[in-house]
Amino acid sequence: MKKTLFVLFVSFMSVSAFSQSLSVGVKAGMNIANQNFSGSGFSLDTKALIGFHAGAYATVMFSENIGIQPEVLYSAQGSKVDFSGSSTSYKFNYINVPVLFRYNVNKLLSFHAGPQIGFLASAKAKDDSGSSDIKSEAKGSDFSLAVGGTIDLPMKLNLTARYAFGLTNINNDGSGTTKNGNFQISVGYKLFGK
């Protein structure tokens, strides 16, 4: 994970050297996460799990309208499953690194889309009897496609809505397929830059 983050950092610094403008900020907000469980001949009906995310972002603009937006976010995700009268919460915590293509429609509105890789920090299953560590049953990384939009507000604030579509199976025990899905609403603050 450290090597991947280092490569991303060096790539970001190289790209920003050729940019017209650079801005950096922090953001935090709410996750409405869910997971899709399926296997040979079965699927589970899951419920959304409310979590949060927080981290930092940078915007590198190559022109007035086109740029990229890399981010590093801590993200609490997962799902709830009701089965045989009991409820289990599956809580997965990731360090997500989206690298997004950004298109500014105008000074107020922008859209973004791009790949996101998530590094699993922890995974737990929680029910009425307690909590158990299930990190060994999950893969250490998750690959998603993130799509969303941002509204830039006065006083260096911004609002973002985004959905990350899980593309890879995060199940490590071979019993089926589990894919993440996560809707995010964020409030950001630009620390410096245009």
Q: How far is CA 192 from CA 59, 96, 186, in A?
A: 10, 22, 18
Element containing residue 3 per DSSP (H, E): helix 2-16
Rounded Cα distance between 161 and 65, Å, is 19
Percentage of the residues of the chain whose pLDDT score is greater than 70: 88
Q: Which residue has the higher pLDDT, 78 or 46?
A: 78
The pLDDT, as a whole number, for residue 37 is: 85
Reported confidence tier of residue 180, pLDDT bands at 50, 70, 90: very high
pLDDT at 9: 55
Cα(158)–Cα(27) distance, integer angstroms:
9
Fold designation for 2-192: Porin (2.40.160)
pLDDT in tens, 125-146: 998 888 999 999 999 999 999 9
Using DSSP's 3-state secondary structure scheme, residue 146 falls into strand
Mean pLDDT for 23-39 is 93
Closest CA to 92 of 150, 144, 149: 144
144-170 pLDDT per residue, tens: 999 999 999 999 999 999 999 999 999
Of the candidates 25, 74, 79, the residue with the CA atom closest to the CA atom of residue 52: 74
Q: For residue 2, name the pLDDT band (cuts at 50, 70, 90).
A: low
Confidence of residue 108 (pLDDT cuts 50, 70, 90): very high
Burial class (CB in 10 A: 0-12, 13-18, 19+), 75: buried
DSSP state at residue 5: H
Q: Which residues of 42-67 are buried (b: 16+ CB within 10 A; e: fewer)?
A: eeeebebbebebebebbbbbeeeeeb
pLDDT cut 90: percent of the chain above it: 72
What is the model's pLDDT at position 38? Answer: 81
Please determine, for residue 20, whether its predicted confidence score (pLDDT) is greater than 90.
no
Tokens 């409310």, residue located:
50
DSSP 137: G
Sorted by where each begins, the domain ranges of the chain are 2-192
Mean pLDDT of all residues belonging to the chain: 89
Please tell me whether residue 11 adopts helix, strand or coil conformation. helix
